[in-house]
């Protein structure tokens, strides 16, 4: 195993970007929105000024005032919400690029300072398998990630790490080169749909414990990656690094890539397709069918399931009345398909728990909110994604159980979604599904870290997030807002986000009463 880490004694941050650190009070409206009227030419926020319309300049005066504010503000009695729920903001997916360099370093430095100024508790950083172990198995390159962590440490922000064992088409980050080379000769390490199309964004769950990666299993490779990360960043774990999430599938989520083939029509609300046609999945299905005395059931997935663009209710499998999903065969297949997902999730969460068992930080895994078609009896979008959840069966009890078993918290998106904004044709209900999952989490004692699903959150969406965080029936201890980018700092979004942060971080007394109105100049 080869590890490359360089710890610099100092990270160069933009000099004219000094930022004071304090919490917001109720009377900051007029002051905070003067940000856009005090543009700094030397400290442009993300990306070029033309894309945003304004940038932040926090003068040295604010830095000098910070000590006074910090000392007095620490005596303020905060609300229960502030003490109980922490707020994090995701850094860009390509913070460390595919070439293993820091993307837009000055913009990220300025963004981190701005988030600290806002009173955000910390940030989330994606750490990619395809970047850190890019060239050869066991050869790790952590230098750029180390530099980012040091930047965050110097600002006193907390850091949540996401270990990503998937690829990202959005920011052009593939799986490691050496894994892709193996996949060229053996495409059955990937998922395959009924038409023969492979999904190369992550490895098939069926190969978890097969020696398909140069004589080693994916579980062994994932474990060694986690161990290398732990060794390299040990000085930060429990201090700057306060949480780690481990990737469980496509986009880091515990699910099958059931929607990996884009719909041809923007008005199509298909439920996706079952992903069980690679050689290893079919071999396991065949074995399972023979064990149950029905070998013909193991020849493939449901023959009457719809395609990506077809309405699921038009098919025989998901039909609302007498659909195949309600037959003995349907129960057999869906149970097997779901159990493959649950077993994979348990293996990955277990390896993470054992690797970091002596680290004083919580571990997380992400479960998606497959809310389309939730109002139907069969819940087809959930079924194709691997969640055997229907109108007559709770499919999340076993999912939550593996989180509880491994003492892991659950990352759960969709806190911003409202039923009223969903297309009628999709028969969607994100609010009902979110309630079902969080209720199961509360029952099993699994804490939740909420996330938003939409890039653009409006006032109503922010209000809904806050309602969820205040809900006594939801066990939410933190919220992770996704994510920094061009839109995040735009005039259409950033003021609303600022209001949202202030709504979560408002002291009982007004900040002006503590600081005598001295906020420094902007």
Does position 521 have pLDDT exceeding 70, yes or no? Answer: no
Which whole-number Å values give the CA distances from 366 to 48, 313, 388, in the listed order? 33, 28, 17
Tens digit of each residue's pLDDT (9 = 90 or more) over 12-50: 443 333 333 333 333 333 333 333 333 333 333 344 333
- For 72, the token pair is 């007095």
pLDDT band of 6, cuts 50, 70, 90: very low
Contact (Cβ atoms closer than 8 angstroms) between residue 330 and residue 302: yes
139-141/198-199 β-pairing: unpaired
State the pLDDT at residue 458: 85
In a domain, 469, yes or no: yes
Our CA angle for 368, 157, 97, nearest 5°, is: 60
Question: Residue 486 pLDDT > 80, yes or no?
Answer: yes
CA distances from 429 to 210, 313, 397, 433 (A): 38, 17, 19, 6
**Does 389 map to a domain?**
yes
| DSSP per-residue codes, 506-519 | --SS-HHHHHTT--
Q: Is the model's pLDDT at 471 over the cut of 70?
A: yes
pLDDT band of 268, cuts 50, 70, 90: low
- 480: which 2 tokens? 């992770």
- pLDDT surpasses 70 at 106: yes
Mean pLDDT of 134-149: 97
Q: Which residues contact 37 (CB under 8 A, 6 or more apart)?
A: 522
Task: Tell whether 3 is covered by a domain.
Answer: no
pLDDT for 17: 37
- Is 480 part of any domain? yes
Structurally, how many domains does the chain consist of?
A: 1
Q: What are phi and psi of 93, to 5 degrees?
A: -60, -35
Does any domain span residue 219? yes
Structural domain includes residue 261: yes
Q: Span 191-213, mean pLDDT?
A: 97
Query: Residue 456: its pLDDT value, please?
Result: 78
Rounded CA separation 338/258 (Å): 13
Domain-embedded: residue 133: yes
85 band by pLDDT with thresholds 50, 70 and 90: confident
C-alpha dist (Å) from residue 297 to 74, 192, 293: 65, 18, 9
Q: Tell me, what's the pLDDT at 406?
A: 98
Torsion of CA 320, 267, 258, 333, to 10 degrees: 10
Q: Please report the pLDDT score of residue 99 as a whole number.
A: 94
Rounded mean pLDDT, 109-132? 96
User: How many Å apart are CA 151 and CA 100, to the nearest integer?
Assistant: 17
Among the residue ranges 142-151, 325-334, 365-374, 498-507, the one predicted with the least confidence is 498-507
pLDDT at 403: 98
Tens digits of residue pLDDT in 289-309: 999 999 999 999 999 999 998
Residue 112 belongs to domain spanning = 86-274+343-505
Q: Report the CATH number that the domain containing residue 196 is assigned in CATH.
A: 3.20.20.80
Whether 296 maps to a domain, the answer reads no
């Amino acid at each position: 195993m080869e590890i490359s880490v360089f710890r610099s004694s100092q990270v160069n941050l933009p000099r004219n970007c000094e930022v004071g650190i304090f919490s917001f009070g109720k009377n900051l409206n007029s002051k905070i929105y003067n940000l856009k009227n005090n543009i700094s030419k030397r400290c442009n926020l993300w990306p070029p000024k033309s894309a945003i319309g304004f940038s932040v300049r926090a003068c040295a005066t604010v830095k000098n005032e910070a000590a006074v504010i910090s000392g007095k503000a620490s005596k303020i009695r905060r609300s229960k919400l502030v003490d109980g729920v922490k707020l994090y903001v995701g850094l860009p997916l390509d913070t460390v690029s595919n070439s293993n360099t820091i993307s837009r370093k000055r913009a990220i430095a300025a963004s981190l300072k701005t988030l600290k100024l806002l009173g955000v508790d910390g940030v989330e950083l994606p750490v990619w398998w395809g970047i850190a172990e890019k060239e050869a198995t066991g050869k790790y390159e952590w230098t750029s990630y180390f530099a980012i962590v040091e930047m965050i440490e110097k600002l006193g922000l907390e850091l949540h790490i996401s270990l990503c064992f998937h690829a990202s088409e959005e920011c052009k980050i593939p799986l490691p080169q050496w894994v892709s080379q193996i996949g060229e000769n053996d495409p059955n390490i990937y998922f395959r749909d009924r038409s023969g199309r492979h999904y190369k964004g992550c490895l098939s769950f069926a190969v978890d414990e097969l020696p398909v990666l140069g004589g080693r299993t994916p579980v062994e490779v994932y474990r060694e990656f986690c161990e290398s990360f732990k060794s390299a960043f040990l000085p930060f774990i429990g201090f700057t690094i306060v949480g780690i999430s481990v990737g469980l599938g496509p986009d880091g989520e515990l699910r099958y890539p059931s929607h990996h083939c884009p719909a041809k029509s923007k008005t199509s609300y298909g439920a996706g397709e079952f992903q069980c046609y690679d050689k290893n999945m079919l071999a396991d299905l065949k074995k399972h069918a023979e064990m149950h005395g029905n070998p013909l059931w193991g020849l493939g997935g449901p023959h009457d399931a719809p395609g990506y663009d077809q309405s699921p209710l038009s098919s025989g499998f998901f039909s609302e009345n007498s659909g195949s999903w309600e037959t003995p065969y349907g129960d057999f297949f869906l149970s097997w398909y779901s159990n493959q997902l649950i077993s994979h999730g348990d293996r990955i969460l277990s390896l993470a728990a054992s690797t970091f068992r002596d680290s004083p930080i919580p571990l997380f895994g992400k479960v998606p909110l497959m809310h389309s078609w939730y109002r139907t009896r069969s819940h087809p979008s959930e079924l194709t994604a691997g969640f055997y959840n229907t109108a007559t069966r709770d499919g999340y009890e076993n999912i939550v159980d593996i989180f509880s078993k491994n003492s892991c918290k659950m990352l759960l998106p969709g806190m911003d979604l409202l039923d009223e904004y969903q297309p009628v044709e999709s028969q969607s209900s994100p609010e009902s599904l979110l309630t079902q999952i969080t209720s199961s989490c509360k029952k099993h004692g699994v804490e939740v870290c909420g996330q938003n699903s939409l890039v653009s959150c409006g006032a109503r969406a922010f209000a809904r997030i806050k309602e969820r965080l205040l809900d006594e029936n939801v066990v939410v201890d933190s919220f992770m807002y996704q994510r920094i980018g061009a839109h995040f700092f735009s005039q259409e979004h950033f003021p609303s986000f600022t209001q949202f942060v202030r709504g979560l971080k408002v002291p009982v007394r007004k900040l002006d009463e503590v600081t005598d109105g001295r906020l420094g100049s902007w």
